Amino acid sequence: MIVSIETPVFKGKWLTRCIDSVLTQSSNNWVFSLVWDGGDEQSREILEELAAREHPNIRVYFEENRGIANARHFLSARCEGDYILPLDDDDVLAADAVEKLQAFAEARPWCSMVRGRRKFIDEEGRVVDEEPWFPFEPRHYQHGMVTDVFNHSQPYLMNRAMYDKTAGWAGFEDFMFAGEDCDIILKLEELGPIELIDEVLYYYRLNPNRASDTLEVQGAHEMWRRLADLSIARIGLPLKRTNEVPPYTYERLPQPRPDIAMIDFVIPVAGELASSEHRIRHQAVLQGYGIADDAMHFIAVQEGGLAASFNACCRQTSRPLICLLDERTRIEEQDFFDTMLDTLHEQTADILGPKILDVNGSIIAAAPSFDADQLPVPGGPVEADGEPFNDTADALWLPAHLMLLRREVVNAVGGFDEAYACSEIASADFCLKARLRDFRCLYTGATLAIGEHHRPSGERGKSIDRYNQKWIDYAHLFWDNKPAG
């Protein structure tokens, strides 16, 4: 795999040292792309000389000045590589930055980005003993939204496949198209998590010509406010920002009680869709609730399992609520959806699941939990249904037998992880991602569905390996019965 190192060039004073830090990397798994963004004459001369070397791993472009966001967008649109590593023209990479960042990212393919530590250097390249400007810690969330929008800094390595799913780099024209770094991080975070590699891999040069210095504190705060508000709108969160200076706080906006016409039903079906008895049965039941045919989406489970099929269907639908309904789960209560919608609304839940029994009254899914190995346990601790499972309470996760969720949850966490072939593991992982962003996952024993016990998928072992590695550092999500936050 290849790392695409990308540098918009405007200043020439420290450019040679920047280039040398790439040429002396301990790994050769890189391509280096630079674009002259209408900079000073010294920088142009250095790039012309670099281009004349015809180094097989170096690409040089010359453009008129269009601002930092447009320059980054230009490079990322033209440069190959499985990962993108932004590098400023006056900064320096640690000698093993590419090697360390790439190895860390390849071991965590679910990440949208990995981020390392940096140190400050002066104009002569000497390390400066200065406290970090921004925290080096996991991001924080409220009601699905990032509170510490400012929590980022170089170096960061972006997953190219996830970057390609975004609209790319974008900045604010009235701020010289700056703000592009915070913006792309927020976009990527909606597709996969950010993970931290606790090593110094980048040297940030302090000098009087830093572009960030011209923004000043007020300008930075204005950009962060805009970015937070843009993210709320992009995800579709019913939130309002309540303060002007980060870390931000948010309040939920009043919402009308949802009705059944606001639900897209996603029903995975094995085998031939047209002849499935489960499809025919579900269609009749849902029509009995007055649900329109265009709200029923019967999807054939493709190779690779439920996750990919569910995500593809979500991208083709638009209603504010989604009900994931397993083909082997039956709804028999007359007021089932009324009760579910009332609970979702009154409890301000984001993901809601009912009690599910088999035809003999034994529990299939009630108050789902995790075992001592942090693996999902869908049923209650006893076989027979009983009073303890009639309550409504915060849930650690919910199975895919029947799950009612708000569309903004899917938007904020990137849907189901498509690497899981086992639907049980995929469901637990999805809920963990949602709870990590402070969405509320709720179980209600006040509603009942009838289902079948699922046999574990043959791919469960492979799914468990990825799942365990992914969540090993988040132990609090497996025992706390309240949403993370």
pLDDT, position 379: 73
C-alpha distance from residue 236 to each of 2, 252, 342 (Å): 35, 12, 21
Contacts (Cβ under 8 Å, ≥6 apart) of 76: 4, 6, 84, 163, 168, 169
E-assigned strand segments in 122-262: 127-128, 141-142, 145-146, 156-159, 194-205, 239-241, 250-252
pTM of the model: 0.92
Neighbours of 178 (CB within 10 A): 22
Distance CA 292, CA 243 (A): 42
pLDDT, position 272: 62
* 3 state DSSP class of 74: helix
Fold: same for 3-228 and 260-478: yes
Question: What are the domain boundaries of the chain?
Answer: 3-228, 260-478
Average pLDDT, rounded, for the chain: 91
| Beta-ladder partners of 402 | 325
The pLDDT tens digits for 423-469 are 889 999 999 999 999 999 999 998 988 887 765 554 567 788 899 99
Taking only Cα atoms into account, the Rg of the chain, rounded to an integer number of angstroms, comes to 25
Homologous superfamily (CATH) of 3-228 is Spore Coat Polysaccharide Biosynthesis Protein SpsA; Chain A (3.90.550.10)
pLDDT surpassing 90 at residue 334: no
Least confident piece of the model among 142-156, 268-282, 346-360: 268-282
Distance CA 7, CA 34 (A): 5
Q: Give helix 460-471 / helix 423-436 axis angle, nearest 10°.
A: 20
The highest-level CATH class for domain 260-478 is alpha beta
Contacts (Cβ under 8 Å, ≥6 apart) of 233: none
What is the enclosing helix (H) or strand (E) of 93? strand 92-93
> In this structure, are residues 37 and 71 in contact, taking their beta carbons and an 8 Å threshold?
yes
pLDDT, position 49: 97
Distance CA 409, CA 407 (A): 5
pLDDT, position 141: 98
Distance CA 249, CA 168 (A): 27
pLDDT surpassing 80 at residue 329: yes
The pLDDT tens digits for 3-53 are 999 999 999 999 999 999 999 999 999 999 999 999 999 999 999 999 999
Res. 211 pLDDT band, cuts 50 70 90: low
What is the number of H-type helices and E-type strands within the chain? Answer: 13, 23
Distance CA 392, CA 346 (A): 12
* 3 state DSSP class of 6: strand
Least confident piece of the model among 2-11, 127-136, 295-304: 295-304
Res. 303 pLDDT band, cuts 50 70 90: low
C-alpha distance from residue 354 to each of 324, 332, 365, 384 (Å): 12, 13, 8, 16
* 3 state DSSP class of 393: strand
